[in-house]
Chains A and B, each alone.
Chain A
């Protein structure tokens, strides 16, 4: 294999083409075989590349071809497989393949079965391009491509106008971020003269950094990341993105695509190391997003919305790690999050599947005995995200908390406090979800109650694999593995003695959240109701998601609509353009009306005119002859 990396990228593309072109006619067995087989093959090649990488230690570079060359500059399509790319590619192809397999059962009866797998494969193609690309340009192609795939899959059931709107919202919100990303790329290209990420990092790390403000570049690239990774202020699209099929939410809007921003900032870490101000911005935005999203998740009643806000919150925590210079830790949390959040979403999918489409947790309850495998895996993943040791989330979250406190690159008590409260809230809302869904008395109506059934093995099997990953994934020391590439920040000496207390506190937070959720939602229903009644105002604000959508609507959407309708449509289009054209046609019409009287339809009259003309012409030539 001379181009192993190219092959990894192209296999899902082949799946897209085959399923997209002939899948509709070939039948579901063929579609499943192609749609799942090729990603699994890509995963196998990734594992082989990973083993090669471990054996040789040198990154695999795969130059494919020169895209464009001029004036001594060239844009190469090239892929690189170093330790960071290895972790990301393994997550993308591994978790991606699992979710493909899960989709066989989940989407079984859907009319757009082949279309679904084609979209899922094209997503994988672009995502692999994103994580394997050697230059920012290739990364950007993948970046835009996953946005497209996300749009297509959110609006997968496009007959429903609300779902199609959610897809549009995701796409347009992402464009705002992409504008920042593009500007960042332009500035970088002008300053460094290349978009190769290795060269850019080396340039910023060298003794003579390029003549450009690293803070500016860092902030611009981070704006791109806020769009893709749903950080404040561009987080509004992700909760709406839950309109797509649940496996899509698991793959794209939890495990892989939304982490692209984290990956990109970690990949460009040399810029952020040279830009403490930009890093500070990232840390603050990250912790604010983490906290606010967690508070919203506490009151959500849609099972997928809770998980969506949880995803936003966890992404915020990853950005906290990026902001304090602990890039490896951010990737570590990305990795553990991929397992437990994929498991949670797929578990939620299994619940929704069991209840025949019901998503409201107020109408669930008592499912633990009815769908035991889903329950156990969901519980494991919940404990993992809540940070209960020794599950995966505990390790990564603990490290984020530790570096938020002690990193000498911007760690502070305030950051630590906010991140800790977020961790507490995470445990609380996740166990609330677990309790309302699986414990207590059933609140389902009789018809749904009768319909409840455990999902097929192709779905539960995937849940079990992901639950095992969520349970033991934390023992893989990703930050240590990435250290040659992304060194961890030094620890402030004043804080060094606090390492163990932070661990204890982190464990305690998980259990306090568990206990609080058990108290309020495990016992009599009036406890939760009493809490809600006492903080009615707060509850309204949280249920309204801080009214960010409404604010955007009032500040951006409505003025834009007003300008479009009044100025561009009313003045420009209707009056200026249409007015001119209507004036011209009106003139032509009136003139024609006058001239048309000559056309009597009487042949003899025409002849008479012709003869008259002839005589006149003859007479004239007689006169002037």
Chain B
């Protein structure tokens, strides 16, 4: 099995693990971490393909994803903090105010 296949396979697994985590876990903080996991799976895939083909666009795109992920965390963590303070829980089931 060649190295790229291995790395892409690892990326897919990371992404799948993240996705499953987001979909099944109830803890908002854990969900956030799982989202990071998904982003990193994507990053890994991007870097692997960039290595293989020698194109730099893939590597540049990774930095873009980092910036977005950092910004997302910078906003999401305070929101979660406020939510946790207001509701005394991190269970997303409790945040159902917009239920129709």
Contacts and interface: CB of A to CB of B under 8 A. Distances in A.
A601 B97 contact: yes
Nearest to B94: A601
Residue among A595, A597, A599, A601 with the most chain B CB within 10 A? A601
Interface string B67-100: 0000000000000000000000000110111111
A602 interface: yes
B23 A611 contact: yes
A604 B24 contact: yes
A607 B100 contact: no
B17 interface: no
A604 B23 contact: yes
A602 B100 contact: no
B22 A601 contact: no
B50 interface: no
A621 interface: no
B98 to A, nearest CB: 6
Contact size range, B: 10 to 19
B99 A603 contact: no
B93 A597 contact: no
Nearest to A592: B100
Given A603-B92, A603-B95, A608 B100 contact: no
A470 B24 CA distance: 102
Nearest to A598: B100
Contacts of B98: 599, 601
B19 A611 contact: yes
Interface string A555-592: 00000000000000000000000000000000000000
Residue among B92, B93, B96, B100 with the most chain A CB within 10 A? B100
B33 to A, nearest CB: 15
A609 B18 CA distance: 16
Interface string A496-518: 00000000000000000000000
Interface string A601-617: 11110011001000000
A599 B100 contact: yes
Interface in B11-35: 19, 22-24, 26, 31
B92 A604 contact: yes
B99 A599 contact: yes
Nearest to A605: B23
Contacts of A602: 93, 96
A136 B96 CA distance: 72
B16 to A, nearest CB: 11
A596 interface: yes
A597 B99 CA distance: 8
A591 to B, nearest CB: 12
B51 to A, nearest CB: 25
Nearest to B22: A607
Nearest to A597: B100
A598 B100 CA distance: 7
B23 A608 contact: yes
Nearest to B19: A611
A588 to B, nearest CB: 14
A597 B95 CA distance: 17
Contacts of A599: 98-100
A595 B99 CA distance: 11
Nearest to B28: A603
Contact of A596 (B93, B96, B97, B100): B100
A623 interface: no
Contacts of A607: 22-23
A493 interface: no
A595 B96 contact: no
A56 interface: no
Given A602-B93, A603-B31, A604-B24, 20 more contacts: A596-B100, A597-B100, A598-B100, A599-B98, A599-B100, A600-B99, A601-B95, A601-B96, A601-B98, A601-B99, A601-B100, A602-B96, A603-B92, A604-B22, A604-B23, A604-B26, A607-B22, A608-B23, A611-B19, A611-B23
25 contacts: A595-B100, A596-B100, A597-B100, A598-B100, A599-B98, A599-B99, A599-B100, A600-B96, A600-B99, A601-B95, A601-B96, A601-B98, A601-B99, A602-B96, A603-B31, A603-B92, A603-B95, A604-B22, A604-B24, A604-B92, A607-B22, A607-B23, A608-B23, A611-B19, A611-B23
Closest 6 CB pairs of A and B: A596-B100, A601-B96, A601-B99, A599-B100, A603-B92, A607-B23
